[in-house]
Amino acid sequence: MIEVDSRGRRCPLPIIDLARRMPSVPVGEVVRVLADDPAAANDIPAWCRMKGQEYVGSPAEGAYDVRRLS
Amino acid sequence: MEYTAEQAAAPAYLDAATAAPLHPVARQALTAALEDGWADPDRLHAAGRRAQRLREAATATVADALGVRADEVTFLSSGTAAAHAAVLGGLAGRARAGRTFVHSAIEHSAVLHAAARHGDSAEVGVDLRGRLDLDAWRTAVSGPGVALAGLISASHEVGTVQPVAAAAEACAEAGVPLYVDAAQSVGHAPVPPGWSLLTASARKWGGPPGVGLLVVRKGTRWLSPYPGDDLHRPRPQGALDLPAVVAAAASLRAVLAEAQTEAVRLSALVDRIRATVAATVPDVEVVGDPAERLPHLVTFSCLYVDGEALLHALDRHGFAVSSGSSCTASTLRPSHVLEAMGVLSHGNVRVSLHRGTTEADVDRFLAVLPGVVAGIRKEAGM
């Protein structure tokens, strides 16, 4: 699985990391973001909604899975 | 980022939801009330009686403005103090009926802190537009052991007006008193009846800071959570700032006289901000209900933008706004309101207008904003 490690980085940096990585993620694949900023739990699903990507869920604390749809 | 950009022609204060500039009537009344308002209105001498007359007149003015009885109105030292007194006193008065405080997820932090101190509370969520989930509210208030319910009249962060009338109906059916935090509505928009306790804050309507308002309707059991000798009637903790109270009352009357006209004017400016920001700033989310909203307040979030950087950049251009982003909060947590709605919390800006805000202020803000956002994104490599 593709992983973006944004631990120790404050929002909006984890979202910027995710957005930068997205073009290299094949459509249909899941990317996992690791982030310990408390805003990530809210802002990663919000980013998915705004950008038309799928928020798969949070498999563990500080981990967020996003599927590229387009 | 371009820090050398020319400062906009004139600064514009667009943070009225925190504190509105002092209304000219408030300034006038404040100066006049300093003459007699220094004395203690509870003392039995001539100076005390003059102060007492000022307090009675101010109370009557506010009661008249809100359509309540004078003996239902109490002035406290701030909106926060009023919210604490409403929640804790409302709960204490209902201790025999139960312990649970039901409240929306988007209450002001003053209400949430009081709820946390109390310890037994149940939260009701909101939708993506920040509007209360009424079905969940009905279920929550009709549950066992509910002592009090609390609902903000309109969100202080996103402006969405709450279904107060329907929420009050559900409370009435369950026999639970409703507390409405009307800090953002009083002076701007009417608050539907049906509540038992209401609070407001004078600095939000153009009155001076340091004046809060608590209204406890007749028949509502309220018990003081503070040390004091009169447990059944709210009283300020210590001496009241009487000149400020007089100014608050006078300005409320003045503000209400022009409220409808101002609401139409400001609401049109907010519509313009909502439409222009969505059209000129890429990757932006304008949040809150576009129609069922306060006339003077609008919030949006910009992807990939640091909220604190945005506030500072706008300030350098002469624009005062506020933000619900975590980097601007003392807690370093994102706004609980934006979280409850599930909308983007970073890059957040709240713009709130007042009677001094002109069309030109708004247009200058809208002209500067896209470049400011683009500059911050560029610096972040986006």
A53 dihedral zone (left: phi>0; alpha: psi -120 to 50; beta): beta
Q: Identify the pLDDT of residue B333.
A: 84
Contact B346/A at CB under 8 A: yes
With contacts defined as CB-CB under 8 Å, which chain B residues touch A49? 342
Contact B285/A at CB under 8 A: yes
Is there a shared CATH topology between the B12-21+259-379 domain and the B24-254 domain? Answer: no
Check A16 against B326: CB less than 8 A apart.
no
- Indicate the DSSP class of residue B221: -
Q: Identify the pLDDT of residue B175.
A: 98
Distance set, CA B227 to CA B42, B230, B286 (Å)? 18, 9, 45
Q: Identify the pLDDT of residue B237.
A: 85
Q: Do residues A33 and A40 lie in contact, with contact meaning Cβ atoms separated by under 8 Å? A: yes
Q: Closest partner residue to B346 among A43, A45, A49, by Cβ?
A: A43
Q: Identify the pLDDT of residue B3.
A: 44
With contacts defined as CB-CB under 8 Å, which chain A residues touch B328? none
Q: For A19-55, write each residue's pLDDT tens digit.
A: 999 999 999 999 999 999 999 999 999 999 999 999 9
Contact B44/A at CB under 8 A: no
Check A19 against B304: CB less than 8 A apart.
yes
**Helix residue ranges, H only, A1-70:** 13-21, 40-51
Beta carbons within 10 angstroms of residue B235's beta carbon? 17
Check B346 against A39: CB less than 8 A apart.
yes
Angle between helices B134-141 and B164-174 (to 10 degrees): 20
Check B346 against A50: CB less than 8 A apart.
no
Q: Identify the pLDDT of residue B335.
A: 93
Contact A16/B at CB under 8 A: yes
Q: Which of A27, A38, A37 shows the shortest CA–CA distance to A66?
A: A27
Q: Do residues B348 and B324 lie in contact, with contact meaning Cβ atoms separated by under 8 Å? A: yes
Give the C-alpha separation, A67 to A33, whole Å: 11
Beta carbons within 10 angstroms of residue B274's beta carbon? 19
With contacts defined as CB-CB under 8 Å, which chain B residues touch A43? 334, 344-346
Q: Identify the pLDDT of residue B327.
A: 66
Q: Identify the pLDDT of residue B9.
A: 61
Contact B347/A at CB under 8 A: yes
CA distance A47 to chain B (A): 7
Domain extent listing, chain B: 12-21+259-379, 24-254
Q: How many angstroms separate the first and last alpha carbons of chain A? A: 18
With contacts defined as CB-CB under 8 Å, which chain A residues touch B326? 10-11, 37-39
How many Cα atoms are found within 13 Å in the side-chain-facing hemisphere of B187?
30
Q: Identify the pLDDT of residue B225.
A: 94
**Averaged pLDDT, groups of 10, chain B, 382 residues long:** 50 96 98 96 96 97 98 97 98 97 97 96 98 98 98 98 98 98 97 97 98 98 91 88 98 98 98 98 98 98 96 97 79 89 96 98 98 97 92
CA distance B164 to chain A (A): 27
Beta carbons within 10 angstroms of residue B376's beta carbon? 22
Which residues of A carry out catalysis?
Answer: 11
Q: Any idea which fold B24-254 has?
A: Aspartate Aminotransferase; domain 2 (3.40.640)
Give the C-alpha separation, B46 to B268, whole Å: 50
* Cβ contacts of A13 within 8 Å, gap of 6 or more: A6, A37, B380
Choosing from B8, B32, B63, B327, which is the catalytic residue? B327
CA-only gyration radius of chain B, Å: 21
CA distance A29 to chain B (A): 23
CA angle B118, B122, B126 (to 5 degrees): 130
Contact A45/B at CB under 8 A: yes
With contacts defined as CB-CB under 8 Å, which chain B residues touch A45? 342
Q: Identify the pLDDT of residue B328.
A: 66
Check A20 against B381: CB less than 8 A apart.
yes
Q: Identify the pLDDT of residue B124.
A: 98
Predicted ipTM of the assembly: 0.96
Asked if the model's pLDDT at residue A69 lies above 80, the reply is yes
Give the architecture-level CATH label for domain B12-21+259-379.
Answer: Alpha-Beta Complex (3.90)
Q: Identify the pLDDT of residue B230.
A: 82
